[in-house]
């Protein structure tokens, strides 16, 4: 299928305003791509018809201008196939590391040198969210690595613990958990493309069948029971709406890690979860404009 893309670079400081504007006006054909490593951001729209793309570009440009979003360059327009769409993500994904884990684009497989004793997750994100180049994902994977390291220090075996990635995107969190030694790992997403990409990334890393990915939402996704580590990297308003479902999905003594939260929204999220789980321990950290919330069930 041929697609039509409109793409323009915006100031990284305007990415938050652009995200909010797109969400507020329901502009589902548009997205903001951020690379926190090189500190750049882009507005991208993908359409099946050129006429629709042109009309929407006029509208979205006006809305973003009202929101104070400045464009760095003139928009680039091009026709592309599915392969071109997937390849366009390569410009926004770079290898990175935290602890002994590395997250590396699969097209660097022939040249990447893995340090002795470290582990690598090869990723081809396609159209799914989750390369680790965004603060929301980095906050989650850093928590995951720290949880595994803390268990090792205390001599606690992590293999029997169950990990659930709610809104798995590219599968990066679930697959990282498997690399760290968790053996009961599952992920779900309400987007079939995300589930497909997650399964593809599992195969790339020799983890096909070891991590279970399926279609589901925050009601149906936890049908197989609670997890010892549960991730939900979504949006603050969705996390607040499903606070009861998310806390119910955590086993006694387990950990819930929330992300996708703007720093200005984190107190609202903490208050919402304190209301439904007042006895749970909470902590939070901020990276750039984004925050996470870690909750530990007694």
Q: What is the pLDDT of residues 68-121, one digit of tens each?
A: 888 866 676 666 555 555 555 566 567 788 888 888 888 888 898 999 988 898
Q: Return the pLDDT at 182.
A: 94
Using only C-alpha atoms, what is the Rg of the chain?
A: 19
What is the average per-residue pLDDT within 264-280? 97
Which one is predicted more confidently, 279 or 170? 279
pTM (2 d.p.): 0.71
Q: Return the pLDDT at 113.
A: 92
pLDDT greater than 90 at residue 297: yes
Q: Return the pLDDT at 127.
A: 42
What is the average per-residue pLDDT within 276-287? 96
Which one is predicted more confidently, 233 or 29? 233
What is the average per-residue pLDDT within 245-261? 96
Q: Return the pLDDT at 36.
A: 60
Q: How many CB atoms lie within 10 A of CB 130?
A: 29
- Give the CA distances from residue 83 to residues 45, 92, 126, 172, in Å, rounded to whole numbers and listed in that order: 16, 16, 9, 21
> ∠ at Cα 195 (100, 208), nearest 5°?
55
> ∠ at Cα 207 (253, 104), nearest 5°?
95
């Amino acid at each position: 299928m041929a697609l039509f893309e409109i793409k323009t670079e915006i100031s990284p400081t305007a990415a938050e305003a652009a995200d909010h504007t797109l969400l507020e006006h329901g502009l589902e054909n548009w997205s903001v791509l951020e690379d926190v490593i090189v500190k750049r951001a882009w507005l991208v729209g993908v359409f099946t018809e050129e006429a629709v793309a042109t009309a929407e570009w006029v509208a979205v440009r006006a809305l973003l201008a009202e929101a104070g979003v400045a464009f760095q360059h003139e928009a680039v327009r091009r026709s592309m196939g599915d392969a071109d769409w997937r390849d366009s993500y390569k410009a926004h994904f770079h290898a990175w590391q935290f602890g002994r884990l590395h997250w590396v684009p699969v097209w660097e497989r022939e040249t990447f040198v893995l340090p002795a004793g470290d582990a690598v997750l090869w990723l081809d994100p396609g159209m799914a969210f989750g390369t680790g180049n965004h603060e929301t994902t980095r906050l989650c994977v850093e928590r995951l690595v720290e949880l595994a390291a803390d268990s090792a220090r205390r001599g606690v075996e992590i293999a029997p613990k169950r990990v659930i990635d709610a809104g798995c995107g590219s599968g990066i969190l679930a697959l990282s958990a498997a690399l760290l030694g968790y053996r009961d790992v599952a992920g779900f997403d309400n987007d079939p493309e995300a589930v497909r990409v997650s399964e593809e990334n599992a195969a790339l890393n020799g983890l096909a069948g070891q991590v279970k990915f399926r279609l589901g939402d925050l009601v149906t996704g936890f049908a197989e029971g609670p997890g010892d580590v549960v991730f939900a990297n979504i949006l603050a308003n969705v996390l607040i709406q499903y606070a009861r479902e998310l806390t119910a999905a955590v086993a006694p003594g387990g950990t819930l890690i929330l992300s996708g939260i703007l720093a200005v929204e984190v107190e609202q999220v903490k208050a919402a979860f304190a209301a439904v789980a007042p006895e749970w321990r909470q902590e939070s950290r901020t990276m750039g404009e984004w925050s996470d919330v870690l909750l530990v069930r007694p």
